[in-house]
A and B are shown apart, each in its own frame.
Chain A
Amino acid sequence: MSITYLEAIRLAQKRALAEDPRVFIYGQDVGAFGGAFKATKNLAQEFPGRVIDAPISEDAMVGAAIGAAIEGMRPIIEMQFADFSTVGFNQIINQAAALHWRTQVPCPITIRLPSGGTSGGGPFHSQSMEAIYAHYPGLIVMTPATVEDAYSMLLEAVAIDDPVIFCEHKYLYYHLKADQLPTEAMPTGKARIARSGRDLTIVAYSAMVHEALAVAEELATEGTEVEVVDLRSIKPLDTDTVMASVARTGRLLCVGEAFPWGGVTAEVIARVASEGFGLLDAPPQRLNAKDTPVPYHPNLWAVHRPTARSIVVAARKLLRQ
């Protein structure tokens, strides 16, 4: 049996619907059609009335989820693409994120964002929005990089009493496979050492974990041992695991698929620089997408975002310092 990252997301939702009557799914085309990516395939048939097609109204979708959560439900909202969540941005950051602080009433909603680039996606179907949401108090932001995490973290997202932005990477939907679903999971907020090493720490999340692992593989043939830290969730961000890794290697490279200004890589470096400056043997480095909208053509897209090719160049440079 082989389970894709996408199927894991579907199965997690199926399990959530089966186990918790408070759960329902609301989004565009999620009903009988099964979703633009088929992440809700057959769920409307299996759970009648609980997987509901929404009009093309991201603001109203999120707003309704908030209202339902106030009444004790556990809605899962599917944004067709992460990029479209900007239309629901107001509800997410001003209403959902602020509700518990303002009123002490929790807002347990899960918003699934099919994120990141795929070949041919172009400027409006490729964005990585995680840093924008992580900026706001009151939100949890998950960025699973493995099939196992896609499954267990989505279940955890539904169980958490706060709004969770679940950034699932579209590039991993079909590429990533596992033999079976996990039976246990790491707690939310804990990073994972995806590969151990002693010469350089690469901190990554989501699809970039796999680019980093490819770099580790390549450099291993030259006798360099790269440690890859998979953040899993970017908020909360597991600074301790990152710091412990940097303590072992003395060198830090942070890789993210999002745009370069601010963001997760900057946050990680800021934390390491302020709390663990003495651990560093070289200036910490970061690698992100280019500071332009995400391009359509595969030739441009391949260079726009970090890949093993560009990460290995940055890693070698850092190792020479």
Chain B
Amino acid sequence: MIQMVASRPATGEVSSCRDAYLSAYRWMLLGRILDEKFASLYRAGKIHGGVFIGRGQEALSVAIGQSLRKGDIFAPLIRDQAGRLAFGESVLEAARTYLGSVLGPMRGRDGNVHRGRPKEGYLPMISHLGAMIPVVNGMLLARRFKGIAGTVGATCLGEGGTSTGAFHEALNQAAVEKLPLVLIIANNQFAYSTPSSRQFACRSLVDRAAGYGVEGHSLDGTDLTACLKVVGEAVANARDGRGPQLVVARLLRLCGHGEHDDAGYVDTKLKQSPVGRDCLKVAGEYLVRQNWAERETLVAWRNEATQKVEEAIAKAQREPAPDPYTENWCALASKHLSEVYE
């Protein structure tokens, strides 16, 4: 009896734990609905280029965005809508980029998931996997040079991205420099259509942590509680000067690689296995079971999020597209050094 009481968190901890969970759930929900809206716009032919959504990865993603603070660095990947929102991106910013509004951060020069604000520590990914890791390292190194302590850099990758040389070089670099890097791997079982068995041969990717001399964590990426706890600890460890943290989550991508892909190659048995659980559904049920929210409240939150998304999309759709005739076709910051080819 005494033991049970001792292991039960104090009241304050329960409420902060509950608040974090509720907040995370609502970001997940908003991310899911925004993703679904982009997917539907894609099917309606309203989006130029591809749409890449994070269905099934929201719990992991939101845990990253929510564990970071203002002043930290975040380099998300293609399935991190929930984490982006939790880190501070607005729905409008995402909508503007997907819809090519000239008022968006990328002004039509880059689109969809390739968006960010580098000066605010929010990096716009390039398509080459693993390539953002050393950029985060460099930002952290610069902060060390400038004597800025206590900030963390987090970046995300799928299990497929761990096969790149860039991943190896950058994780090793972070380890050598003992940087406060949190590298989150979503092992979502498929890199486009290639199963994990064709991607790596080790028992678990987290075993690689020892090889790099960094701390490793593994978790069930379908469980929001685990995501918040483990990712939160990894971020705290990095902030405490314990060097790079490698976090590996098991989950299943509940969508195609992009919306052009029906993911027909995913085995039904895998979808029905524990790894195939929908983290949003699991989190919603947990909220109800804990009496932290009523079912009606979840519905109300969904409606609220839908409303928010619709408004942002409608606004972005009315905004001007980039004008090729007034565009400044100059790639250099030093305009006087650019050559004119017309």
Contacts and interface: CB of A to CB of B under 8 A. Distances in A.
Q: Do A and B come from one complex?
A: yes
B283 interface: no
A71 B331 contact: no
Given A68-B138, A95-B135, A102-B124, 11 more contacts: A24-B145, A61-B173, A63-B135, A64-B134, A64-B135, A66-B134, A67-B135, A72-B142, A90-B131, A94-B126, A102-B114
Interface stretch (B40-48, B77-85, B102-110, B184-192): B102-110
Nearest to A75: B138
B55 to A, nearest CB: 27
Contacts of B139: 67-68, 70-71
B304 to A, nearest CB: 32
Nearest to B153: A67
B282 interface: no
A200 B63 CA distance: 68
B126 A95 contact: yes
Chain A residues touching B, range: 35 or more
B172 interface: yes
A101 B110 CA distance: 9
22 contacts: A57-B134, A57-B170, A58-B169, A59-B131, A60-B134, A60-B172, A63-B166, A64-B134, A66-B138, A67-B135, A68-B141, A70-B118, A71-B143, A75-B138, A87-B165, A90-B166, A94-B126, A94-B127, A103-B124, A162-B332, A188-B337, A236-B337
Nearest to B143: A71
A103 B106 contact: yes
Interface residues of B, number: 44
Interface in B89-118: 105-106, 109-110, 114, 116-118
B169 A55 contact: yes
Interface in B135-162: 135-143, 145-146
A100 B331 contact: yes
B119 interface: yes
B269 to A, nearest CB: 38
B338 interface: yes
A63 B129 CA distance: 13
A71 B139 CA distance: 6
B145 A73 contact: yes
B333 interface: yes
Given A102-B109, A103-B118, A105-B119, A67 B169 contact: no
B70 interface: no
A312 interface: no
B138 A63 contact: yes
B238 to A, nearest CB: 16
Given A59-B134, A90-B131, A162-B332, A102 B106 contact: yes
